Amino acid sequence: MTATEDRTRAAERKPPQIVDMSWDPITRIIGNLGIYTKIDFANQEVVECHSTSSLFRGYSVFMKGKDPRDAGFITSRICGICGDNHTTCSNYAQQMAYGVKTPPLAEHIVNLGEAAEYMFDHTIFQDNLVFVDFCEAMVKATNPSVLARAERTPAPRGDIHGYRTIADIMRAFNPFEGEVYREALKVSRITREMFCLMEGRHVHPSTMYPAGVGTMPQPSTFTDYLSRLTRVIDFVKEAVALNDDVFDFFYEALPGYEEVGRRRILLGCWGAWQDPAVVDYRYENMNRWGKAMYVTPGIIVDGELVTNDLVDINLGLRVLLGSSYYEDWERQEPFVTHDPLGNPVDMRHPWNQTTVPVPQKRDFDGKYSWVMSPRWYHQPSDSHLALDTGGGPLARLWSTALSGLVDTPYIKATGHSVRISLPKSEKLPETTLEWHIPRWSNTIERDRARPYFVAYAAAMAYQFLEEAMQMMRAGETKVFQDFEVPDEAIGVGFHEAVRGVLSHHLVIKDRKIANYHPYPPTPWNASPRDSHGTPGPYEDAVQGQPVFEENGPDDFKGVDIMRTVRSFDPCLPCGVHMYLGKGKTLTTMHSPTYGASHG
């Protein structure tokens, strides 16, 4: 039933000393995520974990009846972090439903905007939020012996990033004071400017539409993007070296630390960056154009690639309830019985889901979260897999590496690794980075993958720029395609939000939205125990992990637990929307900022 491999230790166990501890809300993220644990301090391990979301996610309710052309603009507001990922994914779903293909230059503009978003979000999260848990101040407060060792340990890649010891790197990540912490904020500003050049506004795009974009394709649009990209490449190269030095040190300084956040390798990736020469958004061709994406979709079970076919991935999706505050919909009439290829569609598939919230008291033996439990049905084992995203980058890199399909001037998937080539920059020479498939899916490897994927996004941005500018020079400047909204249709968009898998499932009837379900990465990662008793990935990764913090119960900070949860890049806006119920009205009044008192 559980998703994790057995982590029972062979050493003789002491009589347990169980203490209930909770962190609610989790800080340094957006949303209402709570982690409730039982910790055995005698044996230094977490013996139980529950993940909760305390507010309702309601977009699937109020999307019904809307004009489908508005879906991208509405669903962008699901999140104040990755709203553009929702817009992009919604447009993909609409383009399938409308039977329309985006012009090639518009596709590259979307790709450039999403590349900038990955660079922006991963940088600010890794360096300004995740690394607070690994900085000098935090390590001093939780593991002073580790900091003492860090002071004596030379940084192996100091010739790249310029820091002499591991402790020097940790100091550079101290909040508000550390050099890398401050520099990351500057890089985040520059990459956000890159995003706005392509998608108009961050984080809710103003120039993104189904079947095209409103961005004016001018040479300066792309050269302004390129000049900013060039300014951050040194930082990108240094970040990989900094992260590798710190994470390798933790493995050496704390033997057994690989068990922190480790779970069975169950990874999902839905693919990113369409190839305009291949994609046509037809469901019948989805396997072909899905495999042409510049991040290859895939499901990885126990380190093996199960499938990279988006049709298979789509048909295997299931939404289970279990510990969630919802009424079941299984006895209702399905919206979709078969996909466009004639394959049967399960009643628990997002196309057929109906969201009926049932508020109630939290009960860890029953229902305790507003997050549902999305799962992927694995036919060979007849099991519903609690896939995780590895925080986004781990699953993307792993799936791309195993598939071995991506082969561009900047990115090469080898079957066991991903090679990333970056051009010469102001301080550092032309550099080839190589991410290797790790032994574990754990806290450190989720975090380690993040700077590698920033480098991946930067490398692909160079390719998208080159191809976009070639189109400009050839006079291929069309960025929008006319279309008609059909009376009835279905569509699905597959994309990667920053922190992982993102899908939007759309059903149109009478030219209106009859059913709409967006599934961002956090419902996958933050899901509670499902109807089969399988814990969600946060719960699964924390439950059973060892505790290395040197503090006892009285001053325990839970740093290893927080490192694990944050390694998934948790973000709960998709779980923080308001449900008013029948007969209630919410009215918000706004007054002008200036001159409000004048008649």
Which residue ranges are tagged as binding site for Mg(2+)? 577
Which residues are annotated as part of the binding site for Ni(2+)?
79, 82, 571
CB 356 within 8 A of CB 332: no
Which residues are annotated as part of the binding site?
79, 82, 571, 574, 577
Task: Give whole-number Cα distances, 94 to 152, 178, 233, in Å.
Answer: 57, 45, 35
Q: Which of 196, 193, 205, 202 is nearest to 232 (CA)?
A: 193
Sign, Cα dihedral of 107, 113, 114, 119: positive
The amino acid that residue 172 corresponds to is A
Number of Cβ atoms within 10 Å of the Cβ of 284: 11
**Distance (Å, whole) CA 409 – CA 177:** 38
Q: Is 188 exposed, middle or buried (0-12, 13-18, 19+ CB in 10 A)?
A: buried
Where do the DSSP E strands lie in 479-533?
488-497, 500-509, 512-519
**Distance (Å, whole) CA 524 – CA 462:** 32
Q: Which of 473, 226, 501, 515 is nearest to 376 (CA)?
A: 501
476-479 long-range contacts (CB < 8 A, ≥24 apart) are 476/103, 476/104, 476/105, 477/105, 477/217, 478/103, 478/105, 478/106, 479/103, 479/105, 479/106, 479/109, 479/212, 479/213, 479/214, 479/215, 479/217
Task: Give whole-number Cα distances, 522 to 60, 250, 389, 536, in Å.
Answer: 16, 27, 9, 10
Number of Cβ atoms within 10 Å of the Cβ of 408: 14
Q: Which of 422, 509, 417, 403 is nearest to 462 (CA)?
A: 422
Number of Cβ atoms within 10 Å of the Cβ of 526: 31
**Distance (Å, whole) CA 473 – CA 324:** 54
**Distance (Å, whole) CA 173 – CA 246:** 11
The amino acid that residue 335 corresponds to is F
Number of Cβ atoms within 10 Å of the Cβ of 64: 14
**Distance (Å, whole) CA 324 – CA 372:** 5
